């Protein structure tokens, strides 16, 4: 294959990847399933599929990604807590939320280190750190090192993987 053919194939591949729907881009992390990663196996995937709307199930348990700027939580500015949309474990607070300009809700730190689990994700021709709810194993998003002080982290979350609970409202009971 000559250089010109190589460049044409490379550009065609890049174009196909760039135009593929984001929902088709999945992150498999370390290869362990969400159930295997969960510290506390709460429910089989079939039960999560029955409980959750299809688009939430796909993001949380098939590790898909919603389109940027599609979640109302990206612009949410009230004080409160962000909980896992599957099991309701508190994951983030409004104190660490900021506008990253990426189109997804972003935080500079989780509510607690125990709330989040991480795994290496080698999809999309790069190495990233995927994170998930430590309680149910639901995929949340990816963490990057281009965030604001004091941590320098950007925890980039799928809005459909979270629910927002305004300050003063009771947190939902954890799903078991």
Residue 45: the pLDDT is 93
Per cent of the chain over pLDDT 90 is 71
Say which of 84, 87, 133, 156 is annotated catalytic. 156
Of the pLDDT bands very low, low, confident and very high (cuts 50, 70, 90), residue 124 is confident
Between residues 166 and 8, the one the model is more confident about: 166
Cβ 119 vs Cβ 109: under 8 Å: no
- Domains of the chain in start order, with CATH, are 37-166 (2.170.150.20)
The encoded tokens of residue 118 equal 């991480």
Of the pLDDT bands very low, low, confident and very high (cuts 50, 70, 90), residue 158 is very high
HEC letters along the chain? CCHHHHHHHHHHHHHHHHHCCHHHCCCCCCCCCHHHHCCCCCCCHHHHHHHCCHHHHHHHHCCCCCCCCCCHHHHCCCCEEEEECCCCCEEEEHHHEECCCCCCCEECCCCCHHHEEEEEECCCCCCEEEEEECCCCCEEEEEECCCCCCCCCEEEECHHHEEEEECCCCCCCCCC
Confirm whether 156 is a catalytic residue.
yes
């Amino acid at each position: 294959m000559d250089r010109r053919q190589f460049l044409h194939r490379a550009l065609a591949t890049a174009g196909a990847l760039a135009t593929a729907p984001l929902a088709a881009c999945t992150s498999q992390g370390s290869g362990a399933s969400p159930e295997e990663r969960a510290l506390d196996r709460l429910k089989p995937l079939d039960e999560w599929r029955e409980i959750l709307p299809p688009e939430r199930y796909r993001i949380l348990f098939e590790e898909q990604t919603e389109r940027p700027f599609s979640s109302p939580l990206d612009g949410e500015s009230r004080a409160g807590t962000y909980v896992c949309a599957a099991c309701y474990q508190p994951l983030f607070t409004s104190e660490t939320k900021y506008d990253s300009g990426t189109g997804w809700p972003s935080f500079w730190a989780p509510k607690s280190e125990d709330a989040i689990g991480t795994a290496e994700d080698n999809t999309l021709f790069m190495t990233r750190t995927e994170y998930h709810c430590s309680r149910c194993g639901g995929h949340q998003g990816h963490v990057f090192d281009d965030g604001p002080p004091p941590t320098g982290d950007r925890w980039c979350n799928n809005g459909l993987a979270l629910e927002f609970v305004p300050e003063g409202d009771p947190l939902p009971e954890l799903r078991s």
